[in-house]
Amino acid sequence: MSAAGTSLCYGNAMKIAGKPMRSIWVEPDGMSVGIIDQTLLPHRFETLRLATLEDAAQAIMTMQARGAPLIGTVAAYGICLALLPDASDENLERSCARLLATRPTAINLKWALDEMIAAIRNQPREQRIAAAYRRAAAICDEDVAINQAIGRHGLKLIEDIAAKKKNSERVNVLTHCNAGWLATVDWGTATAPIYMAHDKGIAIHVWVDETRPRNQGAALTAFELSQHGVPHTVIADNAGGHLMQHQFVDLVLVGADRVSVQGDVGNKIGTYLKALAARDNHVPFYAAAPSPSIDFSANDGGAIPIEQRSGEEVATVTGRTREGRIETVRIAPDESPVANYAFDVTPARLVSGLITERGVIAANRAALAAAFPERAGHAPKQTAAE
């Protein structure tokens, strides 16, 4: 039985020019790690070799590797790389602290580091490197299994909508940010049901939020969907409400960087606004939440840390010129202060359900505890106010 609770497996969703691959791998030398440099997409596809702890930390900080599950796997392999020159307890602790400080919002990072510590701590030093690589590889495989299970459970939602359509009309799904295979090891979280529906022959179309300020929707989700052949349209972030008002959206599917024990969903900035528009227009709003993204120590959304990134991400845009050059230009006045809140929290009351590897569940404390009883014992006690 896999981490996803089933042994049923699908092939790869991730394809580049028709060739299956994953978003992270061990290089032929058996030690260094390869990733896709996501900062160059969609205009250039290049891979990056990570050979040291600092390489892994920088890849996470600069968003060459991003997406909550992928951050966790890169951190896991970062520990492997850190142990190569020094497998001591002291270096293990320093390395975990370095990686934990890279990005604060996605809980998968801490989860993966805790998993690595548990696999390494009591091993003899001469066995720690091998143990670390085994656990990191297993974390990657578990991520794929979890996402496949999320895909199967979310597929049922899409099938139910398709069954009510007349004349084989398409199912319209709206996404925000990138919760696809680029954000995971394969399949993605919010995109897994979409890929499975498309592969099953269901007529499906995706409205892709551009997702300012880094444009992960326009640059990454659209790239993924193009590679898989899924019909889609890129839209401005502010168009979602209009589309919902005019019945052009059947379902909103987003990812989750951290889910509180109460069911509040921390995700890319702008997710909350989509949830509000969905509620006002009676459009179901689901968050794909793999179990490593559920923080049983966070009582509610107020306990989810919100990363604030450089204002340059808001004040500038990067793209390809007509001549084919990749350039960055400034769009805000030099003298204007810029704030860059990278995430927001959608209250559980606005979430139709959480798509987990163990099924589609309600966004509340009881449902999370029932779905994940082995972890629920670590959750804060419910207060009378709740």
Look at the block and give the residue holding tokens 């996404």: 175
Token couple for 268:
């890319």
Cα separation, 290 vs 70, whole angstroms: 12
Any idea what the Cα angle at residue 10 is, between residues 5 and 12, rounded to 5°?
125
Can 257 be counted among the known catalytic residues?
yes
Q: Residue 360 pairs with which residues in a beta bridge?
A: 355
Token couple for 78:
């970062």
- Please, which residues have CB within 8 angstroms of residue 324's CB and are 6 or more apart in sequence? none
Cα separation, 42 vs 222, whole angstroms: 8
Within 13 Å, how many C-alpha atoms sit on residue 284's CB side?
Answer: 21
Neighbouring CB atoms inside 10 A of 118's CB total: 10
Look at the block and give the residue holding tokens 């010129």: 321
In eight-state DSSP terms, residue 296 is: T
Token couple for 26:
């061990």
Nearest to residue 294, comparing CAs of 258, 255, 348?
A: 258
Q: Which of 55, 209, 237, 257 is an active site residue?
A: 257
Q: Where are the alpha helices (H) located in 121-269, listed in sequence order?
A: 125-163, 192-199, 216, 222-228, 240-245
Residue 305, SS3? coil
- Please, which residues have CB within 8 angstroms of residue 155's CB and are 6 or more apart in sequence? 193, 196, 197, 200
How many angstroms separate the first and last alpha carbons of the chain? 36
- Please, which residues have CB within 8 angstroms of residue 220's CB and are 6 or more apart in sequence? 38, 41, 42, 178, 180, 182, 183
Nearest to residue 174, comparing CAs of 14, 268, 284?
A: 284
Catalytic residues: 257
